[in-house]
Structure 1
Amino acid sequence: MKKALKITGITLLIIFFLLVAIPFAFQGQIKDMVKNFINENLNAKVEFSDVSLSFIRSFPQAHVTVDDLVITNYKPFEGETFATAKNIAFTMSVKELFKSTSEDPIVVNSIAIDEALLTLKTDPLGNNNYDITKEKENAQTAVDSSSGFAFDIEDYKISNSAFTFLDEKSNTQVYISELNHSGNGTFSEEKSQLDTQTAATVSMSIDSTQYLNQNTIKLDALIGMNLKDQTYTFMENKGFINQLPLVFSGYFQQLEDGQDIDITFENPESSFKDFLAVIPEAYSKNIDDVETSGDFKVNGIIKGKITETTIPKLDINISSNNASFKYPDLPKRVDNITINTTIKNTTGNSDDTYVDIKKLNFKIDSDSFKSSAQIRNLTENILVNANIDGTLNLANLTKAYPIELDKQLSGILKGKLNTSFDVNAIETNAYQRIKTAGSASISDFIFSSEDIVNPIQINKADMTFNPGHVSLNSFDAKTGTSDFRATGTIKNLLGFLLSDKKLQGNFNVDSNNFVVSDFMIEDESATENSNKTTSDSESLKIPDFLDCTINANAKTVVYDNLTLKDVTGTLLIKDQEAKLNNLTSNLFNGVLALTGRVSTKTDTPVFDLNLGAEDFDISQSFKGLELLQNLAPIAKVLQGKLNTVIKLQGTLNNKFTPNLNTISGDAFAEVFTTNITQNEAILGKLSNALKFIDFNKLDLKALKTKLDFSDGLVSVKPFNLKYEDIDIVVSGTHNFDKSLNYDVVFNVPAKYLGSDVNQLLGKINDAEVNKLTIPVTANITGSYTNPQVQTDLSSGVSNLTKKLVEIQKEKLLNQGKDKINDLLGGLIGSKKETTKDSTVVKSDTTKKADPLKEGVKDLLGGLLKKRKKKKDSTKN
């Protein structure tokens, strides 16, 4: 006995090792078999990492696994992935492995697919990415095919997979995720039953209309199969849409030109709780403990053919009468709920499908809401006709239903209106086809959004709806520290509310206090501790949903550190760009005028502005405007009035103020000033270098200058100043970093240049020479707070002294020549007298010398000595 057990154990062990080892011998054959099947049947690029064979996993059948399958399309979807799968497993009889390609096809008994991603796509031209099978001449059914695989499936399974259907021609999108599906049946028999279990999450939209959004679908179905007629009958079936149970019966038959469907369905129960079950659980929460009253019924018939030109006829009804519900954790109850809705198609033409909401009414506390609507032409240009009449306290919505909102709603909404429009009219702004009549109002409403910095509190707003536009009769609101009131017209309110259209309109806006930053948006969400909906770190943006003209009138406008008074003008906002027309304001005891534009379309905002200022108080303006401080830093010491015109462009920082190093432009300025208010470092250095000038007494009346600037460098064109009888010319450059490079040229009369010069002037004693001036240049470098001043005063004085000496010499020479001429003339006259009367000229040695002769002698002697010295000096 022991020997028999030993032999049996050894035999089983040998068999086990054979079952493990033999598949390795067939590994190459299996790979070749899969490759041959792919090459013979698919027109696509197919890749996989490995093909393995096991006799143990599905013993006594063979188990074949294809790992990491990827199928990529050829043209016209070249490069797009059609399908991927982590692995696909087949089971089959072992004998199927020993068939040659010339024998009958290999019969597969089961398939298991894990983590598959499948995309079915139809492009606008009608091409399908799933048309990848090769056409064969004299092709037969898969079971009769002379090569490849045939399927005699008893069970199959798809696990953890996803499916996408995209039809660009009809703008239809279906997304199925978390798909788990399994079935058991015998496909080889003419008549059999298929027992299936399915669970998935489904989203579906047609022509931008969302019909399902992450809805959970479950279906347990027993399906009778007649493979000869290709008819599938639903025998015992119960499905769930979210938590709503549905039972259905009928059949589905495959035809040569499409499918024939005849299905009826209904919810087996009639409690209003079934209505809440239709809503996705993420929104309706746990409905087990919700108190409900009244009924809710869903039933329908889908019957007809699906072909290229027809769809089944539809008759689906949803109704509820005098129902109510209350969540146990919420204080409010929703009462008097009435729903009467049908979805119908009586022709089989898809364009004739319509939704008729005869009643959708409810009441919360004393506020009642009534509505009705008809929606037609669902597959093309949707037509809507709706009526709304009611009052809603918005704060009660979250008190009656578990809605999770980023910001708490509040306010009273009242409305009574009728609207009729088609979607294409909204998209193309065809206002003549948008017919809305009625009125609406809202009060005490607080609105928060990522599109604004601070919540907007609407105290009161009244609107009248007219065909093509909405009249804004009154609008009183505040946000941040700003208040504003408005009237005007809105052209496409429905387009703004129902689609991604911009808010178009013309508005007259009045405000007592308007802070510009309160109306800008930022790029990121707010921090948790901020009452703003956006952060302080990102750059401000002009909202891109605005397309409007604003005629503004504000008593006070705050922009950065500026406070503007009595602001009027027109603002055109479109495509994240604001254009300013004739914007005027009182500022710095003068008048400011602005035209130009500001754009935030790019990551870094840009501006291009013309700024005019009249009668600005110089001291105030240069303290308040950083731009003026950088254009003319020395001007802040002046006291008086300023007129200027500045053209500039550049970028804005995240506080919506200019990046000074990026601006460029030019300016013209005219200054009317009386005195200098403070002793700046530059003036101190100039005073030390030029002590004969009192800079507090500069004549600055009607000072005019031009300058241009770019990349932080300001170039000042020459301009003139005056100090008593000294003319001054200033020119040069400075940077916004306060570095300086200026030349100040003083045309200095000689009398200011020291005692030596004045002594020479006294000796010369000539009025014209006293008017003589020399240019003295003061070069100012360094920085505005630490300037360096260098002058050529000493060299100028030296040159002037030399010039005056030469003038004095020339004058003395001219005087000497005149005296010699006089002396010679006198001598000649005396000689003539001697010849006439010799007694006259007799010398009297006892008399004193003639003073005139002595003067001439001294003069001639002096001149000769000087000439001799000059001659001798030339020898050296």
Structure 2
Amino acid sequence: MKKALKIFGFIILTIIILLVVAPFVFESQLKDLVKKTLNDNLNAQVDFEDIDLSMFRSFPQATLVIEDLSIINNEPFKGDTLAIGEEVTLEMSVKELFKSSDEPKKIDQLTLNNAFINIKVDSLGTANYDIAVEDTTTTGSESTPFSLDLKHYEINNSRVKYDDRNSKVSLEVKNLNHEGTGDFSLDQSELDTYSEALVSLDYDGVNYLNQNEISLDAVFQMDLENMKYTFLENEARVNQLPLTFDGYVQVNDEDTEMDITFKTPSSDFKNFLAVIPEIYAKNIENVETKGDFVVNGRIFGKTDDTYIPKMDIKIASDNASFKYPDLPKSVQDISLDMEILNDSGLAEETYININNATFRIDQDRFTANGNINNITENMLVDLALKGTVNLANISKAYPLEMEQDLNGILTADIKTNFDMNSIEKEQYQNVKSSGKASIRDFKYSSPEIPNEVKIANADMSFNQGNVNVPNLKMTTGKTDISASGTLQNLMGFLFTDQQLKGNFQVQSNTFSVNDFMVAETEEITTTDEDGKDKTVAKTTGKEAVKVPSFLDMELRFNANTVLYDDLELKNAKGILVIRDETARLQDISTNIFNGSIGLNGLVSTKNATPVFEMDLNLNSLDIASSFDGLDLMQGLAPLAKAIEGKLQSTMSLKGNLNEDLTPQLTSLAGNALAELLTAEINPEKAELLSKLDSQLKFINFKDIDLSKIKTNLTFTNGMVQIAPMNFNIKGIDFQVSGSHGFDMNMNYDLKLDVPAKYLGSEVSSTLGKLSGETIENTTVELPIGITGSFQSPKINLNMQQAVNSLTQKVVAQQKKNLENKAVDAINDILQGKRDPNKPFNKNDTTAVNSQNADSTATKAPVTKRDSINQSQQKQVQDAAKNILGGILKNSKKKTDTTSNN
């Protein structure tokens, strides 16, 4: 006995050792085998991260795990991902591992976790899943390395995307969990399955399901020899609507044949509420209902490249009602009679009849009927709507989760008949609409708008494709609007992705742009109390104005007052064209700053950075008010804060905008012609003018009148360039040129031609003696360089240039005087008034020689007389320095130096 136990123990130990060692022995072989098999049999790039073989994970079965499997398409879908899977698990008998590589290995169980299947069919019908390599072998004796002998399979937490451009079908299945248990080794067997997912379905651009929750718990009879699957026991749910199925699906070589009937297992009206997504229909088990709701239908026939299954689906309810226990009102007199039919198997001949759809809340009754034909081609719509709805009662009768409250009275009596081709091609003459609709006492609030919108009344009259709006009265915040006009394509806006087009006349007593500026938000991720991540919106502190992308409008407006930021515009009128996220301003005029502005231009928020272009005509604007109210004025003319008076200007500007639609000054480009109509200077208000006022003793800036001065400005790269500008103020010639940046740094040249009469009697006498003529015709040139910033200016008086200029002017005048004396002397000789043998006096010859000193210096050696002439010119230059020193250091009061004006 003891010996037998030893033998048994040894056998067990040996088996354990084999189970431990086996993965190391077979894992490498299997890894190479799997990769070779997949790539040899699939026309795609197949790869995986690793293979793990375990003998204990599902003992006595061996478990093979393929990690991070990927299948990438070759041409004609080269580079597209067909499938990726985080983990593929295969379970098989241990004995399968001991088979040779030429023998088929049977897989008992297959599990796919966290996978993404991306199926594409192009417009020619080519599918990206058709990647199997065609078998060209001629002998039937060769075997394949793997064969399916499944008992159970699972797909967990996966996603499937199907995009068929040939049939115009787009299907997306998210959160897919599916499992099946059966025996695929038998020709006839039962397959027990369960599936759940969120399904979205679009057909030919029309959305039929949008993340609807669908589940199916079904048992199928499988006939694998004939590829026929028959429903046995089953129940499906669409959202919370239960359905049961009977019938079969058979896959043939050329088509798929089916005959399936389905119905609701009961006729309770709760079935209707169950059709609605669960997020909007919570706790329907506690809802009080009366009446019935029945869905039954049949889908039958063959489907292939030409045909779809025929269908006959009916939805009916009669005299039903429901009431949620926590809500004060109920929905009553509900009647539904709808059909979805296809008699031919051609997709375009599917049609929907809405024979009757009626409901009532309190005394308000609403009815709709009509039909929709030719769904997949040029859809034909024929609808009639009639009734009254108190919008506030909707949330009191049905538990809508809304961020804002609805209210107001909607009344409609409308008939419309149109085809979608006419809508898409904007052929509204083919639209037959008639009737009227109105809304009263409507209020709307949302985080997307800063203030509640109130519509006192809005009337609409339908006439073919147009909708006339004879009367619309709206308020929000400080803004009031009265409008009338026409909507040209309401149907196109409602049924397609067209922009809403129209023309309106708009009147407003007060229009505040701030009422349409919303605080920007950004999404941030936080962790809640349960440790789960959640995304919330956080205000950034910025406000932005966005030109709506869905509008194509022309508005002729007239507003008594427009409020923009801190500005108040009066009598604003003109044309506003909103199109392609761009607002074009045409012939705009408004009164502001005790003057008026005319402008044409545009503002576009189409790109990430808003841009603008403007042609402005500023007429008689108050300079001080403009400076205080406009950042643009502060950047273009920083000295304007020290000027009091009126401004007239024409400007052409373009550049970028901030999110609140104020200009980014550093991006400005353009030009301007500005004229001061009336202007006086208060130098104490500007540091630059104050410094100039203190250094130029002969000018009193407070007494200067700048009226009628004009200048040309250009703007580029954040700089303002002033073209050379000449003007005369009280006998003083000024020339100004240079530039400054919007950072307030500057580089200007100022040249003054100062009459000698402003320099005092002592300086005037000196000039008179040097020049030999009266002081009235003598001026002193004074160049000044201005750098630094407007807050901290640097003033550079170019003394040497001024001395040279004044010296040359005096010397030139002396030469001219001497030449005049010589001419007079010759005339006297010719007339006999002077003895020709009598020489000029000493002073005359000295003067002549001194005037010619420079011109003869290079022609003859320096003589004693030349030294005397140079000495006299040096005296002139020294005198010029003294004169200029007197200009800048004159201790007399400005009232004295300007008393001679």
After TM superposition, give the deviation of residue 56 of structure 1 in Å. Answer: 4.4
Which deviations, in whole Å up to 9, do the C-alpha atoms of 1:484-512 show, x marking residues without a partner? 11111111223323443212111111111
Q: Does the 8 Å CA contact 1:422/1:434 hold for their aligned counterparts?
A: yes
Which deviations, in whole Å up to 9, do the C-alpha atoms of 1:402-438 show, x marking residues without a partner? 2111222222221111222333433333323333221
Which deviations, in whole Å up to 9, do the C-alpha atoms of 1:213-267 show, x marking residues without a partner? 2223332322223334333222222222222222221222222321221122211
Alignment equivalent of 2:671, drawn from 649, 658, 666: 666
* Alignment of 1:333 onto 2:339: no
d(CA) in 2 for partners of 1:277 and 1:190?
A: 39
- In the superposition, relative to structure 1, how do residues 742 and 107 fare at CA in structure 2: closer, same or farther (>3 Å)? closer
After TM superposition, give the deviation of residue 381 of structure 1 in Å. Answer: 3.2
d(CA) in 2 for partners of 1:65 and 1:623?
A: 74
* Alignment of 1:756 onto 2:762: yes
d(CA) in 1 for partners of 2:767 and 2:443?
A: 85
SS of 2:286's partner is: coil
When structure 1 is superposed on structure 2, of 228-237 and 599-608 the one drifting more is 228-237
- In the superposition, relative to structure 1, how do residues 690 and 326 fare at CA in structure 2: closer, same or farther (>3 Å)? same
Alignment equivalent of 1:654, drawn from 659, 664, 668: 659
> What residue is the counterpart of 1:833 in the other structure?
none
Aligned residue runs from structure 1 range 238-317, under 5 A:
238-317=235-314
Aligned residue runs from structure 1 range 559-708, under 5 A:
559-673=564-678, 675-676=680-681, 679-680=684-685, 681-708=687-714
| Letter of the 2:386 counterpart | D
After TM superposition, give the deviation of residue 57 of structure 1 in Å. Answer: 4.5
Alignment equivalent of 2:378, drawn from 369, 376, 381: 381
* Alignment of 1:187 onto 2:192: no
> What residue is the counterpart of 1:848 in the other structure?
none
Alignment equivalent of 1:799, drawn from 807, 810, 817: 807
- In the superposition, relative to structure 1, how do residues 434 and 815 fare at CA in structure 2: closer, same or farther (>3 Å)? closer
* Alignment of 1:162 onto 2:159: yes
When structure 1 is superposed on structure 2, of 292-301 and 213-222 the one drifting more is 213-222
| Letter of the 1:505 counterpart | G
d(CA) in 1 for partners of 2:870 and 2:610?
A: 77
- In the superposition, relative to structure 1, how do residues 482 and 77 fare at CA in structure 2: closer, same or farther (>3 Å)? same
d(CA) in 2 for partners of 1:817 and 1:36?
A: 123
Which deviations, in whole Å up to 9, do the C-alpha atoms of 1:28-63 show, x marking residues without a partner? 443344345324422222212334444545555544
Alignment equivalent of 1:476, drawn from 473, 477, 485: 473
- In the superposition, relative to structure 1, how do residues 693 and 872 fare at CA in structure 2: closer, same or farther (>3 Å)? closer
Q: Does the 8 Å CA contact 2:768/2:775 hold for their aligned counterparts?
A: no
Aligned residue runs from structure 1 range 358-757, under 5 A:
358-448=355-445, 452=449, 454-519=451-516, 524=521, 536-537=541-542, 539-673=544-678, 675-676=680-681, 679-680=684-685, 681-757=687-763
| Letter of the 2:233 counterpart | E
- In the superposition, relative to structure 1, how do residues 2 and 482 fare at CA in structure 2: closer, same or farther (>3 Å)? same
After TM superposition, give the deviation of residue 278 of structure 1 in Å. Answer: 2.0
Q: Does the 8 Å CA contact 2:577/2:583 hold for their aligned counterparts?
A: yes
- In the superposition, relative to structure 1, how do residues 315 and 756 fare at CA in structure 2: closer, same or farther (>3 Å)? same
| Letter of the 1:134 counterpart | V
| Letter of the 1:180 counterpart | N
d(CA) in 2 for partners of 1:744 and 1:206?
A: 75
Q: Does the 8 Å CA contact 2:486/2:504 hold for their aligned counterparts?
A: yes
- In the superposition, relative to structure 1, how do residues 526 and 450 fare at CA in structure 2: closer, same or farther (>3 Å)? farther
Q: Does the 8 Å CA contact 1:764/1:811 hold for their aligned counterparts?
A: no
> What residue is the counterpart of 1:122 in the other structure?
121
d(CA) in 2 for partners of 1:871 and 1:170?
A: 108
Number of aligned pairs?
839
Q: Does the 8 Å CA contact 2:681/2:705 hold for their aligned counterparts?
A: no
* Alignment of 1:132 onto 2:140: no
When structure 1 is superposed on structure 2, of 710-719 and 651-660 the one drifting more is 710-719
SS of 1:411's partner is: strand
What is the aligned-residue RMSD (CA, Å)? Answer: 3.8
After TM superposition, give the deviation of residue 677 of structure 1 in Å. Answer: 5.1
When structure 1 is superposed on structure 2, of 470-479 and 668-677 the one drifting more is 668-677
SS of 1:696's partner is: helix
After TM superposition, give the deviation of residue 659 of structure 1 in Å. Answer: 1.5
d(CA) in 2 for partners of 1:570 and 1:663?
A: 25
- In the superposition, relative to structure 1, how do residues 722 and 802 fare at CA in structure 2: closer, same or farther (>3 Å)? closer
Which deviations, in whole Å up to 9, do the C-alpha atoms of 1:422-460 show, x marking residues without a partner? 334333333233332211111222335676554432221
| Letter of the 1:43 counterpart | N
d(CA) in 2 for partners of 1:748 and 1:137?
A: 106
Q: Does the 8 Å CA contact 2:586/2:600 hold for their aligned counterparts?
A: yes
d(CA) in 2 for partners of 1:197 and 1:686?
A: 91
For structure 2, the residue ranges without an aligned partner over 5 or more in a row are 525-536, 850-862, 872-901
SS of 1:38's partner is: helix
| Letter of the 1:305 counterpart | K
> What residue is the counterpart of 1:850 in the other structure?
none
SS of 2:561's partner is: strand
SS of 2:285's partner is: coil
- In the superposition, relative to structure 1, how do residues 608 and 8 fare at CA in structure 2: closer, same or farther (>3 Å)? same
- In the superposition, relative to structure 1, how do residues 139 and 287 fare at CA in structure 2: closer, same or farther (>3 Å)? farther
- In the superposition, relative to structure 1, how do residues 127 and 795 fare at CA in structure 2: closer, same or farther (>3 Å)? same
When structure 1 is superposed on structure 2, of 322-331 and 674-683 the one drifting more is 674-683
d(CA) in 1 for partners of 2:541 and 2:18?
A: 72
SS of 1:513's partner is: strand
Alignment equivalent of 2:780, drawn from 774, 777, 791: 774
| Letter of the 1:375 counterpart | I
d(CA) in 1 for partners of 2:309 and 2:587?
A: 63
d(CA) in 1 for partners of 2:692 and 2:706?
A: 17
Q: Does the 8 Å CA contact 2:350/2:375 hold for their aligned counterparts?
A: yes
Q: Does the 8 Å CA contact 1:713/1:734 hold for their aligned counterparts?
A: yes
When structure 1 is superposed on structure 2, of 471-480 and 23-32 the one drifting more is 23-32
> What residue is the counterpart of 1:18 in the other structure?
18
- In the superposition, relative to structure 1, how do residues 428 and 521 fare at CA in structure 2: closer, same or farther (>3 Å)? farther
d(CA) in 2 for partners of 1:613 and 1:102?
A: 92
SS of 1:512's partner is: strand
- Aligned-residue sequence identity (percent) comes to 44
When structure 1 is superposed on structure 2, of 4-13 and 347-356 the one drifting more is 4-13
When structure 1 is superposed on structure 2, of 263-272 and 85-94 the one drifting more is 85-94
- In the superposition, relative to structure 1, how do residues 327 and 755 fare at CA in structure 2: closer, same or farther (>3 Å)? same
d(CA) in 1 for partners of 2:379 and 2:834?
A: 129
> What residue is the counterpart of 1:348 in the other structure?
345
| TM-score of the pair, normalised by structure 1 | 0.87
Between structure 1 and structure 2, the one with the greater Rg is 1
| Letter of the 1:14 counterpart | T
- In the superposition, relative to structure 1, how do residues 543 and 454 fare at CA in structure 2: closer, same or farther (>3 Å)? farther
d(CA) in 2 for partners of 1:306 and 1:280?
A: 30
d(CA) in 2 for partners of 1:809 and 1:341?
A: 115
Q: Does the 8 Å CA contact 1:52/1:66 hold for their aligned counterparts?
A: yes
After TM superposition, give the deviation of residue 865 of structure 1 in Å. Answer: 13
After TM superposition, give the deviation of residue 861 of structure 1 in Å. Answer: 10
d(CA) in 2 for partners of 1:598 and 1:807?
A: 65
Q: Does the 8 Å CA contact 1:522/1:534 hold for their aligned counterparts?
A: yes
> What residue is the counterpart of 2:87 in the other structure?
87
SS of 1:395's partner is: helix
Q: Does the 8 Å CA contact 1:726/1:749 hold for their aligned counterparts?
A: yes
| Letter of the 2:107 counterpart | V
After TM superposition, give the deviation of residue 699 of structure 1 in Å. Answer: 4.7
d(CA) in 1 for partners of 2:695 and 2:577?
A: 55
Q: Does the 8 Å CA contact 2:744/2:790 hold for their aligned counterparts?
A: yes
After TM superposition, give the deviation of residue 551 of structure 1 in Å. Answer: 0.7
When structure 1 is superposed on structure 2, of 566-575 and 50-59 the one drifting more is 50-59
